[in-house]
Structure 1
Amino acid sequence: MFDTLARHFGQDSLAATDPSQRSLGLRGTAALWLGANVVVTTILTGMLLVPDLRFGQAMFIVLLGSALGILPLVLVGLMGQRSGLSTMVLARASYGVHGAKLPSLVNLVSLLAWSWIQALLAGMSLNYAVEATTGYSNLPLFTVLCETLVVLIALRGHLGIERVERWAAVGMLLLAGAVFYAMGRNFAFAELFAMPVEPRNEISAGVAFDIVIATAFSWIPLAADYNRHCRSQKAAAVGTWVGYVAATLLAMGLGAAVSGFSVLAGMQQTYDPAVLLAGFGFGLPAAIVVFLSVMTTNVMCVYSATLSYLNMRPQTRFWKPALAIGVLSILGSQIPGILDNFQNFLLIIGSVFIPAFAVMIADYFVIQRGSYLEADLLDPRGGRYRYLAGFNPAAFAAYALGAVLAYYWGWVAPLAFGASLPVFVLTAVFYVVLRKWVLVPRMQAA
């Protein structure tokens, strides 16, 4: 029965995508990444910035941080477009055919955590809207319903996701515009810009910049998974940059504005426009923005978590881990208190992924001069990327240094301008030095 049903699911695999079958142009790529990042967790991040910072200052930091932080994601996406391979298969070239299983496992766990948080936030927004409309409230039920829909879409594979993202991106833009219009009619944006600083979340300008950068870096593991379906390098690079930066400004701007207006109105601080505008009869449209944002992003998380699992167990059929991960996402969304440490979760994600992908980018663009042997990457034995029993010592040494620096500069002695960019640059440089002159691996025959 399951095999018959599985015929209707996506048949995605780790194999390189055929250039003639690629489905994403410039507009489709921009819509994909816009839909991905207009998400409730990004809106929640915007809430953390105001009133700790002035609204204008917060938006400048968001623009600068997202414009710079997205560049590594663009580079990894280009790696996927050129090779047709997923992110974690590409990691085999820098970490080794067996070494890449570690970042795959870390990515799988982190995407599960993202999915739990987003499912709960979506359930909260939908529950609020239904309760305000009908009086009925059941947060666990609405959370499960949201995540079940996510799983059904993810099981359709990348083509199903792309179709949903295009329409959802248009819907979110229209609804977000309506939400900003409603806020402008009921609140004064001049007061928001003049709002005095009030420390609430211990967010300095440097921490805010680091959080914005970390948000961008949290998307890197997904970059090649989707951009390997881009028709051209221009679509992969420009579409990703434009879609992501526009989405971050919109989502964090919405969260910061809602936060500021809720404080100015004497309400409990919130990120949710449905809560802010419910008293003005606009709560339901605002809740739909949050609901759609979670659907588009959470689908991508479940799909990429599935590809990470396949990198560890390549012989598994796509639908089996997709379904299992979806069930785990539904169960995890019921964990009490998972939102309590959201800010720390963002910084931990940055500490984990920044050095990991600094190594990957340095290996591809500096050591390998922008070219991998795709057949060897898909070889279970690793081919020339086998290194030392399937592990590249230089990659793990550089990653360890980067992780230590990220921890020290992020938690022990925080830098005024944030740790993300220094950690990325130093990890990449250290890897190049190690790989070229210290821990030079004996390459296997191609």
Structure 2
Amino acid sequence: MSDLASTRASQPSDVDPDYPLQIVPAHARKGVLSLGVVLLGFTFFTPTMLAGASIAPAFSFGQFLTIALLGSIVLGVYVSALGAVGARSGLTTVVMARYAFGEKGAKLVSLLLGGTQIGWYGVTVATLALLTQQVTGLDGPLWRWILILGGGAVMGLTAYFGYRGMELLSAVSVPLLLVLAGWVTWRSLTEIGGLGGLGEVTGTGELTVAAAVTAIVGTFASGGTQAPNWTRFARTPTQGFSSAAIAFIVGELLMIFFGGIGALAFGIGDFVEVLFALNLIGWGLVFLVANLWTTNDNTAYNFGVAGAELFNANTKKPFVIGGVVIGTLLALPIYDNLIGYLSWLGILIPAIGGVLIGDHVANWRRGMPEPLAYRFPAVRWENVAVYAVATLAAWISSRQGILIPPVVAIVLAVVGAYAVGRRLTPDLGQPVAAA
């Protein structure tokens, strides 16, 4: 088993420069600032603010802040742990799944993660089209589909060009979003009478704490599980952990907070509509496009690398194109059933990341062999069983309304994968030359 430091310096000439199937070499690694900007562009997401806007009215302001912090920490710790694993391994989430689930078992992971990200791409494209119609007055189904098809095509371009395209877009949009969101927060505080006015909010009590935290974690159950797709470019595991923590604790908390403040001050559960209420229609549209674009290019990148693993291809680009087409065509059907879609994401996805973390700590923390030079077992049934049990427990938790389903899935999967990895003697594969 070779360490990351011994990764082959040379790569085949036809390899995608984003290394969808290989360990990222040392010369292609990035710093915390670069990674943090890209990941912040991912987490600065209008639906996250919508989640904040839907949660805040149910609680007092102090309770809302506590819940926002708790949900962001739960999500952030989970994603940051995966971020560190991604940096140490140098591999995408779906390729790491080959080590944890086996060659064939990883295909299930690719289908789940790639498929759910295609769905998210469609949701985002539909959101862009519907809100653009509100701004421009371009009513009717024909204009809606023109906006959906045009938006889906344009937002796929930066993902097609890989990490560099996402880095450049995020570097422009993230500061813009921070300035604009901060300004609207100040206006919201003015509207409600400052912190004193917020302190008088009592809340409706229509949501439980567990349900609210689950909603926050669920906003990035799928996307956060694929954080290694970017943190694999980090130079050290600490940098991978830190960049993910910046995005998924700080970024998530800010988005939940911004959305919640707007809802409390204006009685509007949509941050973009708050901008419209302030007669900032032009800026609202700029915010909307930049915000959704920075997230959707990351989403397209995710299903691109998932497709590359699924079909064992050295390039993600055909799968970016295919996923963009499918997600765009399914935009409205998925958007119209969003609540059910999000509920299943929170049940099906988190255990995948938990298995990857537990298995990595048990078997691979000293280094991982180059995947293209390694023959994996077809299926590592012990980890498939751990995933199934953890997911079933999350489903029962959701049905019974006890505990927090994503947390149940993550904890059981991490503990279970570590336990079977240490106590059994699993078939971990062997070099191709020795097979």
- Place the TM-score, normalised by the shorter chain, in its bin: 0.7 to 0.9
- 1:223 paired to 2:223: no
Residue pair 1:48, 1:203 contacting (<8 A) in 2 also: no
Q: Deviations over 1:61-108 (max 9, x none)?
A: 111221232122112222221222111101111100111010110111
From 165, 183, 190, the counterpart of 2:188 = 183
Are 2:358 and 1:351 equivalent residues in the alignment?
Answer: no
Q: Which letter maps to 2:318?
A: K
**C-alpha displacement at 1:253, in angstroms?**
1.4
Counterpart check, 1:45 vs 2:51? yes
Q: Distance in 2 between matches of 1:422 and 1:13?
A: 30
Inter-partner Cα distance in structure 2 for 1:369 and 1:148: 39
Match of 1:368 among 354, 363, 369: 363
> Which residue pairs with 2:177 in the alignment?
172
Question: Conserved in 1, the CA contact under 8 Å of 2:20 and 2:92?
Answer: no
Q: Which moved further from structure 2: 402-411 or 285-294?
A: 285-294
Whether contact under 8 Å (2:84, 2:238) holds in the other structure is no
Deviation at 1:187, TM superposition (A): 4.1
Could you tell me which amino acid in structure 2 is paired with residue 243 of structure 1? A
Q: Assess if the C-alpha contact under 8 Å between 1:10 and 1:318 holds in 2.
A: no
Partner of 1:118: 124
Distance 2:275 2:165 in 1: 33
Aligned residue for 2:270? 271
1-structure distance, mates of 2:61, 2:149: 35
Q: 1:209 to 1:396 in 2, by over 3 A?
A: same
Inter-partner Cα distance in structure 2 for 1:327 and 1:59: 39
Over the aligned positions, Cα root-mean-square deviation in angstroms equals 2.4
Answer yes or no: is the 8 Å Cα contact 1:176–1:289 preserved in 2: no
Return the offset for 1:136: 7.3
CA distance in 2, matches of 1:280, 1:210: 31
Distance 1:50 1:72 in 2: 24
- Name whichever of 183-192 and 356-365 sits farther off: 183-192
Counterparts of 1:369 and 1:256 in 2: how far apart (Å)? 41
Q: Residue 280 of structure 1 aligns with which residue?
A: 278
Identity of aligned residues (%): 19
Pairing of 1:21-420 with structure 2 (within 5 A): 21-22=28-29, 24-131=30-137, 138-189=143-194, 190-198=196-204, 202-263=206-267, 269-273=268-272, 275-315=273-313, 317-335=315-333, 338-365=334-361, 367-375=362-370, 377-379=371-373, 382-383=374-375, 385-386=376-377, 390-411=378-399, 413-415=400-402, 417-420=403-406
1:19 equivalenced with 2:31 (yes/no): no
Q: Is the 8 A contact 1:125 1:272 kept in 2?
A: no
Cα distance between partner residues in 1 of 2:337 and 2:201: 27
Question: Take 2:369 and 2:410, find their aligned partners in 1: how far apart are those partners?
Answer: 26
- Secondary structure of 2:105's counterpart equals coil
> Structure 1 residue runs of 4+, over 4 Å off?
9-12
CA distance in 2, matches of 1:224, 1:443: 21
* CA distance 1:349–1:371, change in 2 (3 Å): farther
Could you tell me which runs of 5 or more consecutive residues in structure 1 were left unpaired when the two chains were aligned.
1-6, 264-268
Supply the distance in 1 between the matched residues of 2:243 and 2:328 (Cα, whole angstroms).
32
Contact 1:354–1:424, Cα closer than 8 Å, also in 2:
yes
Matched residue SS, 1:334: helix
* Residue 340 (structure 1) shift: 4.5
**What is the CA–CA distance in structure 1 between the aligned matches of 2:388 and 2:139, rounded to whole Å?**
51
Tell me the CA shift for residue 15 of structure 1: 1.9
Residues 445 and 15 (structure 1 numbering): CA distance in 2 closer, same or farther, change over 3 Å? Answer: closer
* 1:434 aligned to which of 401, 417, 420: 420
Contact 2:123 2:332 survives alignment (8 Å): no
CA distance in 1, matches of 2:412, 2:17: 40
Unaligned runs of at least 5 residues, structure 2 = 1-13
Displacement of 1:295 in angstroms is 0.4
1:172–1:293 contact (8 Å) kept in structure 2: yes
Deviations 1:173-222 (A, max 9, x none): 112122223334444344344223225xx521111112223334333332
1:128–1:306 distance in 2 versus 1, CA, 3 Å = same
User: Amino acid of the residue matched to residue 113 of structure 1?
Assistant: G
1:229-259 Cα deviation digits (max 9, x unpaired): 1233332221221232221122111222222
> For residues 401 and 172 of structure 1, what CA distance do their matches in structure 2 show?
41
Find the aligned partners of 2:257 and 2:410 in 1 and give their Cα distance.
26
Separation of aligned partners in 2, 1:192 and 1:126: 31
Instruction: Figure out how many residues of one structure are paired with residues of the other and give that number.
Output: 414
Residue 342 of structure 1 and its aligned partner are, at CA, apart by 3.0
Question: For 1:17, what is the secondary structure of its paired residue?
Answer: coil
* Structure 2 SS opposite 1:13: coil
Distance 1:441 1:207, change over 3 A: same
- Give the alignment's TM-score, normalised by structure 1: 0.86
2:380 touches 2:427 (CA, 8 Å); kept in 1? no
- 1:400-436, CA deviations, whole angstroms, 9 ceiling, x for partnerless residues? 111110000112x111x42332332222222333344
